[in-house]
Structure 1
C-alpha cells in the first residue's frame, strides 16, 4: 500500500497570479474572507497585483499560507489524507494546519506576525550556493564566525546566512558552480534573528497547539512527532535554526513513504527532493486543475 507525504513550500515559491483558479471557488471564498479580516487586505488582490506585491515578505508569507491551506481543505474534501507532513520554512505552518495542530486563524495570525518581524529584520544577508564541495563548505563555516548553514536543501544546493562580511568570505573561499546573494531583508534562519524570534515567541506562547493527527517532520528536527509541546518547541526554534530539508527528504523513505505531493504553487520542493531521493514518486498540487474531478 502506497504511503504518502504532503510537503508545503515556503517563500520563493510565490508568483504573480498564484492560486487564480481558487479565487472564485465557493469552497475557498470563506477562507479568503477570513484571511482578509485578519490581514486587513485581500489575498487574491495582492496575488493579482501587477507590481509583484506578492514577492514582498509582508505579503508573501500570508498569501502562501492561505492558498496552501485552501488546497489542503480541497484535498481533505476529496477524502485524501497523508501519512506524514512537512513544510519548508513558512510551509511548516501549513503542515501543522494540515495535521490538525493549528486552526487556520491561529496559524495565519502567527504567519502575519512572523512576516512583519522578518520584513523588519535588517541585519545580515543570505546567499545560495550551487554545485560545491560540502566538506570545504562545512570547514569554511566552522572557521568563519557569524555565518551558518540556513537551508540545507540537497547535496548540491544550500543557503548560508549571517553578517555581510562573513557570508561574502564564505562565498569567496568556497568553490561553487554558482553563488548568489538573495534578495531578502535579513539573515533568516540564523542567530541574527534572535531578537525577532524572542518577540515572536511572545505571540507563539499564547497559541494553543493540539496533538498532531499525522506525524510532522520539523525543519529544525527532522524526526516524526505528534506531541503538541514538542511541535511548538520546534517551531519556536525555526526562525534562528536551519531548515534541514535534505535530512527531511532522506527521512521519508525510512518512514515507508514512497509518494510525495508538493501542495502549493510551483515545483521548488519536488525539484530539490528529486536529487536526494530519486526513487520517490513526486507529484504537485498547485491549483484546482491538479486535483482532478471531484
Structure 2
C-alpha cells in the first residue's frame, strides 16, 4: 500500500482567484469564516494581489481554502497516512487530523495573523544557491539572525535584525538573495512577544489527539498523534525555524511514496520533488483537481 502524506501550504502560496470554484461546495465554512473574521474570504480572494498578500488576510484565506479542499478529498474516501504543513499550513494539518475543529483553528489563525502583521523590526531574506557549510557557520557566529525557513539544500530564508541579515548577505555568496516584504523577523526569537500573546490564545483551545500522525515544523524528527505534544510544539512555532528540509528527509527515510499538496500553489511539491527523488506528486488546489484525485 502506497504511503501518502498530505502537505498544506503557507504564506506565499496565495493567488488572486483561489477558491473561486468552492463558493457552493464550501458555503458552510465560508459563512462560518465570515462570522469569525468579520470579512468575506471569497471577496478577499478576488481582491488585488497586494491586498491578499497582507498577512492578516493571507493566513485566514489559505487556511479556509485548504480546509475546504481537504474536506472534499475526505468526502471521496481519500485519506492521508501523515499530515504536515509549512508554517501557517501546520494549522490546516492540525484541522485535517482532527486535533482542532475548523472554527477554533480559524480563530487561532486569525490571532496569529494579526500578531504577525503587527510585528515590527527585523527583516527576512530568501537565499538560493550557496555554500551550505559556509552559510551555517556564518549564521552561527552572527548574533541576531537565524535560518528561519530551511526549505531545501539550496533554498533557505534567514530572519533577524536588519543589520545581521545584511551581514549574512554580504558574507555569503548566493545565486539569488531576495528580500521578503514582511513586517517582522518571523520564525525567529524576535517574535517572542507575539509568541507569548499567542500562547494565551492556544491555551483556550482544546487539542485532541490526532486521527493520523502529524509532523511538526518545530521538531520533524518524529510524527505524533498526541494533542498535548502538538500544543507544546505550536507554542514554540512562531519563534522557531520551519525545518522543511528535515521533514523531507523524514518522508524519504520512512518510505512515503506519494505527496498530495492540498491548497493553492505548488511550492511544497516543488521542494519535495528536489529533495525526495521518486516521490509521486499530486496538487489539489481547485475543484477539478479534487475530482481527478483518488
Distance 2:255 2:137 in 1: 34
Partner in structure 1 of residue 60 of structure 2: 62
Partner in structure 1 of residue 6 of structure 2: 6
1:87 to 69, 74, 85: 85
2:113 to 115, 118, 122: 115
Q: Secondary structure at the match of 1:292?
A: helix
Q: Secondary structure at the match of 2:26?
A: helix
Distance 2:72 2:142 in 1: 47
Partner in structure 2 of residue 152 of structure 1: 150
Report how far residue 291 of structure 1 moved.
Answer: 1.3
Q: Check 1:140–1:40 CA distance in 2 against 1; reply closer, same or farther (3 A cut).
A: same
Partner in structure 2 of residue 19 of structure 1: 19
Partner in structure 2 of residue 235 of structure 1: 234
Q: What per-residue deviation string (whole Å, max 9, x for no partner) do you get for residues 116-153 of structure 1?
A: 00000011000000000100000110110000010000
Q: Secondary structure at the match of 2:175?
A: strand
Question: Contact between 2:100 and 2:206, CA under 8 Å: does it hold in 1?
Answer: yes
Partner in structure 2 of residue 32 of structure 1: 30
Distance 1:243 1:46 in 2: 27
Distance 2:292 2:10 in 1: 27
Matched, 1:198 2:192: no
Distance 2:48 2:128 in 1: 31
Partner in structure 1 of residue 257 of structure 2: 258
Q: Secondary structure at the match of 1:219?
A: coil
Aligned length: 292
Partner in structure 2 of residue 285 of structure 1: 284
Report how far residue 293 of structure 1 moved.
Answer: 5.9
Distance 2:47 2:83 in 1: 31
* RMSD after superposition: 1.0
Runs of at least 4 residues off by over 4 Å: none
Question: Contact between 1:47 and 1:53, CA under 8 Å: does it hold in 2?
Answer: no
Q: What per-residue deviation string (whole Å, max 9, x for no partner) do you get for residues 155-212 of structure 1?
A: 0000000000000000110011011110001000000000000000011011100000
Question: Contact between 1:16 and 1:52, CA under 8 Å: does it hold in 2?
Answer: no
Normalization by structure 2: what TM-score?
0.98
Distance 2:262 2:201 in 1: 27
Question: Contact between 2:15 and 2:49, CA under 8 Å: does it hold in 1?
Answer: no
Partner in structure 2 of residue 269 of structure 1: 268
Q: Secondary structure at the match of 1:38?
A: helix
Partner in structure 2 of residue 50 of structure 1: 48
Once the two structures are overlaid, the 10-residue window that deviates more, 254-263 or 150-159, is 254-263
Once the two structures are overlaid, the 10-residue window that deviates more, 101-110 or 268-277, is 268-277
Distance 2:199 2:269 in 1: 31
Distance 1:56 1:150 in 2: 20
Normalization by structure 1: what TM-score?
0.98
Runs of 5+ in structure 1 lacking a partner?
Answer: none
